[in-house]
Amino acid sequence: MKVKVLCRNPDDYVRETTRDIQRVPRNYDPTLHPFEVPREYTRALNATKLERVFAKPFVASLDGHRDGVNCIAKHSKSLSTVLSGACDGEVKLWNLSKRECLRSVQAHEGFVRGICSRFCGSSFFTVGDDKTIKQWKMGPPGYGLKEEPLNTILGKAVFTGIDHHQSEGTFATCGQTVDIWDELRSSPIRSFSWGVDSFSCVRYNPVETELLASCASDRSIILYDMRESTPLKKVIMKLKSNTLCWNPMEAYYFTCSSEDYNLYTYDMRCLDSPVRVHMDHVSAVLDVDYSPTGKEFVSASFDKTIRIFPKDGGHSREVYHTKRMQHVICVKWSADNKYILSGSDEMNIRLWKANASEKLGVLTAREKAALHYNQKLRDKFQHHPQVRRIARHRHLPRGIFRQKRELKEIKEAQTRKEQNVRKHSKPGSVPLVTEREKHVVTVVE
């Protein structure tokens, strides 16, 4: 007698090892899964809410300085090491993972104006108000030895900033002039000056390593080529810019932080008008640093906040502030694109997450997948009013909020006035000037 039985292939339902997840047969017939848009919308809304709920960007505060932190530098080879210089001339080395000070050096008398690490990470340079450039070893001095610089160069004038070449033994300082130094020489190999002005910042282009840019006190930004004896060109703006930073992924873009509360991204091939004006701060912007991916940058402002801007966005995507944080003087984005460091007036260095709601630590694959899915959902429904409202809600301290409102009113009044003037004057006599064109005075070559 033949008995008919149901027969199934165990490969279809048995997992290979016990560590695999269970096999679930799925039917993707769309009729079985209706309402895909409303369901995804709900998911997106929930994802957005969770994102906001988990948005706790503040990680740690590094205290130990006895004066305002004036400058921060990243270690070029180690993620966990950070250097900071204070207004009392003290330089500290920090271990971020342990959140402790490794070493402190009384480097200068007066302010430490600038600090940078050598590309190999073995030593770092500091400049100070005492007109010296000092090179220090990264490691601690041997037992029983005093903290002494490897090298000291005595300059003629005060240096206000320093930056090291990406791969060669040269560095640049700025003060009354922009000087290019060879590490082995005690006098600059090149010295640029264009008119009598002092400089506040000099930065090497990280990609086109022979190029430099500096911010001068005559409201200009000057570009140099290290191989030339004269500066390339400069753009003069309405107000002075404090610092600038090159985009590490797109060599010809740089962003400068200006005294007029804005940041400007320029294309160095065409300085006639900035590519983008970034506004949101309510006070002078003191420092700016790009994320290593080149997609965003962070800015520190005198208004006691840090803001993160997308590189081509006119407004910030994020604002960080705490009650105790005073005027933020310097800011850096860590080289792994995860953290932001800010040094402020009240002697603390703060560590922030670059992505406020990011979960720190190792994620499982499924966690990762869920995060990615949520991110995509948020992107997909970002234009929907509810999602937008939740995703964009930020808390601001009352003072800044008021200032912001005031500024908005001022701006509105100005535009209204301009419109009225235009309306009541001969057509064409009051030209329409775009926001980008407004801030540039001239370009000199």
**Footprint on residues 373-392 left by another protein (CB under 8 A):** 373, 375-377, 380-381, 383-386, 389-390, 392
What the block records as the tokens of 28 is 């993707």
Applying CB under 8 A, which of residues 317, 327, 407, 444 lies at the interface with another protein?
317
Residue 435 makes contact with another protein by CB under 8 A: yes
What is the CA 295 to chain-centroid distance, rounded?
10
The helix or strand, by DSSP H or E, that contains position 443, with its residue range, turns out to be strand 440-444
Residue 275 makes contact with another protein by CB under 8 A: no
CB of 368 to another protein, least distance (A): 9
Residue 43 makes contact with another protein by CB under 8 A: yes
Residues 397-416 binding another protein (CB under 8 A) are: 398, 401, 404
Task: Please tell me the number of Cα atoms within 13 Å of 62 on its side-chain side.
Answer: 30
Site string for another protein, 86-115 (x = CB under 8 A): -----------xx-----------------
Applying CB under 8 A, which of residues 152, 186, 187, 293 lies at the interface with another protein?
293
Site string for another protein, 356-375 (x = CB under 8 A): ------x------x--xx-x
Which own/partner pairs from 180-183 qualify as long-range (CB within 8 Å, at least 24 positions apart)? 180/212, 180/226, 181/133, 181/153, 183/135, 183/151
Q: Is 144 left (phi over 0), alpha (psi -120 to 50) or beta?
A: left
Residues 198-217 binding another protein (CB under 8 A) are: 206-208, 210-211
Q: Radius of gyration over alpha carbons of the chain, in Å?
A: 27
Site string for another protein, 296-315 (x = CB under 8 A): --------------x--xxx
What is the CA 214 to chain-centroid distance, rounded?
17
Binding part of the chain for another protein, among 84-92, 142-150, 191-199, 334-342 by CB under 8 A, reads 334-342
SS3 105: strand
**63 vs 435, which CB is nearer to another protein?**
435
Total number of residues that touch another protein (CB under 8 A): 81
**166 vs 217, which CB is nearer to another protein?**
166
- Strand order across the 339-344 sheet: 58-63, 348-353, 339-344, 328-333
**198 vs 357, which CB is nearer to another protein?**
357
CB of 373 to another protein, least distance (A): 5
Residue 265 makes contact with another protein by CB under 8 A: no
What the block records as the tokens of 9 is 């292939």
Cα–Cα distances in angstroms (integers) from residue 174 to residues 34, 117, 222, 251, 423, in the given order: 65, 16, 12, 22, 47
